[in-house]
Amino acid sequence: MNKHNIHTLASLAGVSAATVSRVLNGNPQVKPHLKEKVLHALEETGFRPDPKAQSLRAGKTRTISVILPMIDTDFYHRLLHSMEPVFDEAGYDMALFPLVGGFRVKKYQDPTSLPYHGDALILASLDPDKLYANHEVPFRKPITLVDTHHQHYHSFSIHNHQAGKLAAQHLLLNREPIVLIGLRQDEAGPFASPVFEERMEGIQQGLQEQGRTLAGTLLVDELGTEGGRQAARLWLEQHPGPCQFLCLADTLALGVKRHLQERHLECRVIGFDDHPFAATESLTSIKQPIEQMGEMAARHVIQQLRGEVYTLQSTVLTPTLKIRQSSRLWTHP
Amino acid sequence: MNKHNIHTLASLAGVSAATVSRVLNGNPQVKPHLKEKVLHALEETGFRPDPKAQSLRAGKTRTISVILPMIDTDFYHRLLHSMEPVFDEAGYDMALFPLVGGFRVKKYQDPTSLPYHGDALILASLDPDKLYANHEVPFRKPITLVDTHHQHYHSFSIHNHQAGKLAAQHLLLNREPIVLIGLRQDEAGPFASPVFEERMEGIQQGLQEQGRTLAGTLLVDELGTEGGRQAARLWLEQHPGPCQFLCLADTLALGVKRHLQERHLECRVIGFDDHPFAATESLTSIKQPIEQMGEMAARHVIQQLRGEVYTLQSTVLTPTLKIRQSSRLWTHP
DNA sequence: CTGAAAGCGCTTACAG
DNA sequence: CTGAAAGCGCTTACAG
């Protein structure tokens, strides 16, 4: 590429750097003949001003960075889609930094890296303490957590403990044994989200209050349909007879349902997230106010940017239970 | 937040800005007692250096920006996942700028905006001529197109024309009328990807070469299963009897298949993309070398950053046909 | 080992 | 209307 800056270009055009800058920024009071010269030099060289210098000067980038674990799940689509219009309306852009495969973790320790060029930072589902070795986000602009919480940061999250409890309480209405299908997680890893752990705690508490316990727990490595299917098969091979599968994600629940359908078995199933397919597949699920959470968080960030936030704010939203056919005993089509 | 810079902090600590900078960057030859003072002031004020200034000075950000239409489809997941390891290995981060809903288009005209802070830019599926009013990307660093092409830019794309032709030729083996299900697109809009148009052209050419024509064309507004289902219903209500549905996306094809299953009808269906569900649903589909495309593009960007690219390069990859049950006439389970 | 100064590439008062 | 200069917030030779 070219190695010009605004000064070399200015001398090339026979004007001052200030004039080049004015032309670049569409300042209307540049005399036509000078403007002409600048435009010509611009054309000639293909010169482009350095955006880093421009926004250093301006003191802002009109962009909000979002660091999130991944982008290929329904949860994050819904979250991002709910934040986007708020940012847009306020004149901000959104930059996404997914931690695909955990590669990035070390890079985001570097305060120079692009996420921190934004005017504000959103950390979704990530625990700052685990993400940052030194226990501090290397960023001096507004920081907001979504789908996690931490005492030092603004946060918007879902009451996962209550979600778990709701699910347990629902199944406790029936006498069949309750089998949990959960996710195997690396607790120490930077990804480790407290979500599943908190749901578990809620489930345990719900059970305890009724003097019940889990008949069994199966952990899968991935939140896919296949995992649910396998887990259900494994369990039922060793423990035939009706039971209730409490799945920590709808994808798992769907896998379980598929297995039951194939084998013409009758068991109850319940999932978490109220994924779009939960409705069409008649899966009982814990519905999370994802859009509401995203929108509130986004509004809060904008308020922070406007200097309208004066106290540390931590908002917890309440999940609800969507009862559908899968937690009744179904009959086959 | 604090309104400090490195100089105010320096005087607060009783040292020079240079020393503060050295401490900030872990320079080992700062005497302990000075380092102490600086660390103390840092602690006191919570000061963080401005990353924009730091990378202005450094001249780089070690980040590659990707502007893409959306992030919630299998196509982009596969594309991004194939680029990521290449960037990571070369020490670069990836920043995602999805054009969710087209909001951003105007913002990306602004050369100051965050995408252009990256060291290189990837434009996925977008036509620079439509995206940028002035027909020029406001960026002086390396630019690479993926899943589109343009004579002025490096590009890695799939031979969509050939993909269309392959699909048509496959169906031409049978005598049943061919019905196309495509996407209604705003041709002028910034999103308008040439992909569908090119597939159409290939299909038309394939048909022409055999002296055949389409029995009908149905356009849907969204690439979802529901659209395919509706389209199939609409067509079959008015034209009962076997036909062949040529769907411009697998999601559409899946919808068609669902409708056929529900009604116990027998028609052939073929889709595009070889979506993961195509295999499990036995859908014949045009398979695109997405991962290969992503990986090649990523490698090329890295080469450009290393100054190892000397000529404009345009790579076109060839799709293949995956024949499965859906383009034979199936029998019901 | 440390500081004053120059400079990264811009923009914007300030004179003229 | 235009230019020289100061400054955005850093870092890094260069002296000392």
pLDDT digits (tens, 9 = 90+) for B110-166: 778 889 989 999 999 988 887 776 667 778 789 999 999 999 999 999 999 999 999
Residue A211 has pLDDT above 80, yes or no: yes
Chain C bases closer than 7 A to any CB of the protein: 1-5, 7-13
Q: Tell me what the mean pLDDT of segment A16-20 comes to.
A: 90
In chain B, pLDDT over 70 holds for what percent of residues?
Answer: 93
Q: Of the candidates B111, B57, B54, B123, which has an alpha carbon nearest to the alpha carbon of residue A113?
A: B54
Chain centre distance of CA B185: 17
Q: What residue ranges do the domains of chain B occupy?
A: 6-49, 63-158+290-317, 160-288+320-328
Dihedral angle sign, alpha carbons of residues A25, A27, A28, A30: negative
- Per-residue pLDDT tens for A173-206? 999 999 999 988 776 666 667 788 899 999 999 9
Q: What CATH code would you report for A160-288+320-328? A: 3.40.50.2300
Query: Would you say A111 and A138 are in contact if contact means Cβ atoms under 8 Å apart?
Result: yes
B29: the nucleotide nearest its CA (via C1') is C1
- A199 Cβ neighbours under 8 A, 6+ residues apart: A160, A161, A163, A164, A167, A248, A272
pLDDT top residue among B192 and A324: A324
Does the CB of A45 sit below 7 A from strand C? no
Query: Would you say A52 and A64 are in contact if contact means Cβ atoms under 8 Å apart?
Result: no
What are the tokens at A114? 């692009």
Class (C level, CATH) for A63-158+290-317: alpha beta
Residue of A85, A100, A138 lying closest to B48 (CB–CB): A138
pLDDT of residue A208: 95
Q: What is the DSSP string of B222-262?
A: S-SHHHHHHHHHHHHHHS-S--EEEESSHHHHHHHHHHHHH
Chain centre distance of CA B14: 51
pTM of the model: 0.85
Gap from B297 CA to C8 C1', Å: 30
Kindly determine whether residue B49 and residue A111, on different chains, have CB atoms separated by under 8 Å. Answer: yes
Chain A residue nearest residue B79, CA to CA: A72
Residue of A61, A72, A96 lying closest to B77 (CB–CB): A72
Q: Of the candidates A193, A148, A89, A114, which has an alpha carbon nearest to the alpha carbon of residue A293?
A: A148
- Per-residue pLDDT tens for B76-95? 999 999 999 999 888 888 99
- A267 Cβ neighbours under 8 A, 6+ residues apart: A176, A232, A236, A242, A243, A244, A245, A256, A260, A329
| Confidence grade of residue A243 (pLDDT, cut at 50, 70, 90) | very high
- Distance in angstroms (rounded) separating the CA atoms of residues A193 and A185: 9
Q: Which of A93, A106, A152 to mutate to test the interface with B (most CBs of B within 10 A)?
A: A93
Residue B101 has pLDDT above 70, yes or no: no
Residue B1 has pLDDT above 50, yes or no: no
Taking the CA of residue A84 and the nearest CA in chain B, the distance in Å comes to 8
Query: Would you say A231 and A181 are in contact if contact means Cβ atoms under 8 Å apart?
Result: yes
Q: Tell me the β-bridge partners of B65.
A: B95, B121
Residue B333 has pLDDT above 60, yes or no: no
- Per-residue pLDDT tens for B251-292? 999 999 999 988 998 899 999 999 888 998 899 999 999 999
Gap from B55 CA to C2 C1', Å: 24
Kindly determine whether residue A51 and residue B113, on different chains, have CB atoms separated by under 8 Å. Answer: yes
Does the CB of B56 sit below 7 A from strand C? yes
Chain B residue nearest residue A139, CA to CA: B48
The 3-state DSSP composition of chain A as helix, strand, coil percent (nearest 5) reads: 45, 15, 35
pLDDT of residue B207: 95
- Per-residue pLDDT tens for B283-332? 999 999 999 999 999 999 999 998 888 899 999 999 999 999 898 865 44
- Which of chain B's residues have a Cβ under 8 Å away from the Cβ of A77? 71-72
Gap from B13 CA to C5 C1', Å: 20
Q: Tell me what the mean pLDDT of segment A277-295 comes to.
A: 93
Residue with minimal CA–C1' distance to D4 is A16
Kindly determine whether residue A1 and residue B142, on different chains, have CB atoms separated by under 8 Å. Answer: yes
- Mean of per-residue pLDDT scores for chain B: 88
Gap from B175 CA to C10 C1', Å: 67
pLDDT top residue among B71 and A101: B71
Residue A206: Cβ-neighbour burial (10 angstroms; 0-12, 13-18, 19+): buried
Reduce the DSSP state of residue B287 to 3 states and report it.
strand
Residues 35-64, chain A, CB closer than 7 Å to nucleic strand D: 53, 56-57, 59
Query: Would you say A126 and A193 are in contact if contact means Cβ atoms under 8 Å apart?
Result: yes
What are the tokens at A181? 């299908």
Give me the count of residues in chain B: 333
Q: Give how far Cα A233 sits from Cα of A255, A268, B142, Å.
A: 10, 14, 52
- B291 Cβ neighbours under 8 A, 6+ residues apart: B78, B79, B81, B82
How do strand A320-322 and strand A284-287 relate by DSSP bridges?
A: antiparallel
Q: Tell me the β-bridge partners of B66.
A: B96, B122
Q: Of the candidates A158, A178, A181, which has an alpha carbon nearest to the alpha carbon of residue A169?
A: A178
- Distance in angstroms (rounded) separating the CA atoms of residues B76 and A76: 15
Chain A residue nearest residue B71, CA to CA: A71
Q: Of the candidates B205, B224, B221, which has an alpha carbon nearest to the alpha carbon of residue B213?
A: B205
Gap from B133 CA to D9 C1', Å: 33
Q: Which of B25, B55, B75, B117 to mutate to test the interface with A (most CBs of A within 10 A)?
A: B117
Least confident of A74-78, A166-170, B35-39, B55-59: B55-59
Taking the CA of residue B71 and the nearest CA in chain A, the distance in Å comes to 7
Residue B237 has pLDDT above 80, yes or no: yes
Query: Would you say A246 and A267 are in contact if contact means Cβ atoms under 8 Å apart?
Result: no
Q: Give how far Cα A105 sits from Cα of A101, A141, B93, Å.
A: 9, 20, 10
Taking the CA of residue B230 and the nearest CA in chain A, the distance in Å comes to 16
Rg of chain A (C-alpha set): 26
Taking the CA of residue B74 and the nearest CA in chain A, the distance in Å comes to 8
Kindly determine whether residue B140 and residue A46, on different chains, have CB atoms separated by under 8 Å. Answer: yes
Residues 30-89, chain B, CB closer than 7 Å to nucleic strand D: 47-50, 53-54, 56-58
Kindly determine whether residue B51 and residue A116, on different chains, have CB atoms separated by under 8 Å. Answer: yes
Chain A residue nearest residue B94, CA to CA: A97
- Distance in angstroms (rounded) separating the CA atoms of residues B147 and B298: 13
Kindly determine whether residue B52 and residue A71, on different chains, have CB atoms separated by under 8 Å. Answer: no
Least confident of A10-14, A267-271, B184-188: B184-188
Residue with minimal CA–C1' distance to D8 is A57
Q: Of the candidates B285, B259, B253, B255, which has an alpha carbon nearest to the alpha carbon of residue B272?
A: B285
Residue A216 has pLDDT above 50, yes or no: yes
pLDDT of residue B189: 63
pLDDT of residue A104: 62
**What is the CA angle B290-B295-B297, rounded to 5?**
95
- Which of chain A's residues have a Cβ under 8 Å away from the Cβ of B89? none
Tell me which amino acid residue B322 is: K
Gap from A295 CA to C11 C1', Å: 35
Kindly determine whether residue A113 and residue B63, on different chains, have CB atoms separated by under 8 Å. Answer: yes
Gap from B53 CA to C12 C1', Å: 18
Residue A248 has pLDDT above 90, yes or no: yes
Does the CB of A151 sit below 7 A from strand D? no
| Confidence grade of residue B190 (pLDDT, cut at 50, 70, 90) | low
**What is the CA angle A298-A303-A305, rounded to 5?**
95
Residue of B58, B88, B112 lying closest to A103 (CB–CB): B88
In chain B, pLDDT over 90 holds for what percent of residues?
Answer: 50
pLDDT of residue B24: 86
CATH homologous superfamily for A6-49? Answer: lambda repressor-like DNA-binding domains (1.10.260.40)
B16: the nucleotide nearest its CA (via C1') is C3
- Which of chain A's residues have a Cβ under 8 Å away from the Cβ of B115? 95
